[in-house]
Amino acid sequence: MKMTEKESKGNKETYNSDVLKSLIVDPTRSVVEIAKELRSYRQKVWRKKKALEDSKVIWGYTAVVDESKLGHVMYLMLMKMKPMDHDLADLIIQRQQRGAYQKQQVHLINILYVNGTYDWVIMFSAPNHAIARRYYDSIRMHYENYLLEKPLMIDVNFQVIREGKVNPDVERLHDFEPL
């Protein structure tokens, strides 16, 4: 169904709205607080927020967690795979719907299908290297028919920005300077 020019313009205004920008900065604030900040009405802010959620421009809210303070190590896994086909898409979707990673004590942070040297970027944390290695091996076994080469696993030393938020302990970056 094709949108009229007026509907399209209205959607662009909603998506580029100050309400969206405000929610990106702090999604925990109430509609009343956002309305005060924007010098608007609570109902208008609520309608724009609802429209963003209904159209899946906003499809979730999350807390940005410092995994290291929970005793976890963060990892990136980079994967080169055969081109996407129906069977691979189904395999990935089913694995996520089953929550296979939860049984392995892994916290999945992001899974991204990308263009470039690698096809997939998986960001996850685990309480230790042994658990991270088990998860890595399970991925290799689960997708062995689709992998073009062995995935690359990297442990993350420090998060400067995550989910658009600057690490409140960003000064700790100096801890990585050579002596």
Cα(18)–Cα(45) distance, integer angstroms: 9
Residues of the chain above pLDDT 70, percent: 91
* Residue-level pLDDT at 61: 86
- Of the candidates 158, 126, 152, 127, the one whose C-alpha atom is nearest the C-alpha of residue 139 is 152
Q: What are the boundaries of each domain within the chain? A: 5-54, 67-165
The pLDDT score that the predictor gives to residue 64 is 85
Residue 63 has pLDDT above 90, yes or no: no
Under CATH, what is the fold of the domain 67-165?
Alpha-Beta Plaits (3.30.70)
Give 135-172 as a DSSP string.
Answer: HHHHHHHHTTTTBSSPPEEEE----SEETTEE-TTGGG
Q: pLDDT tens digits, residue range 94-114?
A: 988 887 777 778 999 999 999
Of 60 and 142, the structure prediction assigns the larger pLDDT to 142
